[in-house]
Chains A and B, each alone.
Chain A
Amino acid sequence: MSIMSYNGSAMLAMVGRDCVAIASDTQLSANGQMISTDFQRVHMVNNNVMIGMSGLATDVQTLWADFRARTKMYKLREERDISPRAFAHMVSSALYQRRFGPYFIEPVIAGIDPDTKKPYVCSTDIIGCIEKSPNFVVAGTCTENLYGMCETLFRPDMDADDLFETVAQALVNAFDRDAYSGQGAIVHILTPTELITRTIKTRTD
């Protein structure tokens, strides 16, 4: 089994009209054995940016500690919150620094630019190559399923409620056909004014 699927995960980020969403499954497994159904892979960087990390769980925790420290230092130095684009490039360079002994995560980043209020969504590979997307990005152990669901369900300019429904349906129906991920989901919707977090119960077999 690949090291990228050792812990199993499924996540996606999607753009709506003046809003973005990240959805992720909530299970942690090790080699196919379920450890927990309440594992956190998505984190709020600040009120404008969030990051979800698929891949090896230890690196998710190591890197989140690192990113949190870096963004706090950024805020102290600059006296403003980091923008989604700047944060994505910070993540990218952190990953590329380990080019020949990488951290085994594929992050998805979603946010709203604090200046332009435009939604921003991107993902990177394990060595930090940024792929910016105008609609959605996916990561984890069932990306084929996720791409299929997103391609069929995505519509441009969804409002926050529509975006939640689309993202939730796309994720849940993708990971229900994946043995390594699932067991519940969490969806974060970010608008310029608020963050809406909803947990979803799904099939647990």
Chain B
Amino acid sequence: METLISLTGKDYVLTASDMTAARSILVFKVNEDKTRDLSPHITMAFCGESGDTVQFAEFIQKNIRLYAIRNNFELSPKAAANYVRTQLAESLRSRSPYAVNVLIAGFDEHEGPELYWLDYLGTLCKIPFGAHGFASNFVLSTLDNAYLPDMDLEQGIALLKSAIKVVQQRMLISQPNFQIKLVNKDGVSVIDI
């Protein structure tokens, strides 16, 4: 019942994650941060089994940070995504697998903006735009219809806004707040749209 939406543009990646923390019929809060920054140029948005999500995301965040400190070298978005995939795939066949879906958005100085889709099974896929959660049923058709490669930031934000609008208009479950993160050559930042 959570929503993650992300799209890549000309020189940036935008991610939108809903901020609702709810269980059963109860909404606990509407300002929950469902993202963790893995490095100055990589952010990971996550959803899934509550409890697993933050535990897994922070485990990944800390390990990628540890790698960067030990080797004095930041992992590329591709390397980070493959690390997360391996962790999820190993967890899948363990006694208590993590039920966490993530979108990894990063900017690489050689490769440019990158977006990786990764589900709880450990299926990794590089995509131009994507979504997780029930809302993907609405959002993907909106994005399929209007997405263009090489959109500038203004166009990207407009598209992301229309995607969020569809979720809020058509989905039974209320998600009043979305956190938007922008990843570009200057790093990860939270923006208002």
Contact = CB atoms under 8 A, between A and B. Distances in A.
Interface string A26-56: 0010100111101100000000000000001
A58 B127 contact: no
B93 interface: yes
A39 B169 CA distance: 32
Given A58-B89, A58-B92, A35 B127 contact: yes
Interface in B53-100: 85-86, 88-89, 92-93
Given A35-B127, A61-B85, A62-B89, A56 B117 contact: no
A109 to B, nearest CB: 22
A61 B85 CA distance: 9
Given A35-B117, A35-B130, A101-B93, A61 B140 contact: no
A183 to B, nearest CB: 12
Interface string B98-139: 000000000000000000010101111111001000001100
Interface of B: 85-86, 88-89, 92-93, 117, 119, 121-127, 130, 136-137, 140
Interface in A124-170: none
A158 B3 CA distance: 51
Nearest to A40: B125
Contact of B125 (A28, A33, A62, A101): A28
Nearest 7 CB-CB pairings of A with B: A58-B122, A58-B121, A57-B123, A58-B123, A36-B125, A62-B89, A36-B127
A38 B129 CA distance: 13
**Interface hub of B93, B119, B125, B136 (most chain A Cβ within 10 A):** B125
Q: Is the interface of A mostly helix, strand, loop or mixed?
A: mixed
A61 B119 contact: no
Contacts of B140: 33-34
Contacts of A5: none
Contacts of A181: none
Contacts of A62: 89, 122
Contacts of A101: 93
A9 interface: no
Nearest to B117: A35
A35 B144 CA distance: 11
Nearest to A56: B121
A24 interface: no
B144 to A, nearest CB: 9
A127 to B, nearest CB: 16
A40 B127 CA distance: 13
Nearest to B92: A58
Contacts of A56: 121
A97 to B, nearest CB: 13
Contact of A30 (B122, B123, B124): B123
A3 B44 CA distance: 27
Contacts of B125: 28, 35-36, 39, 57
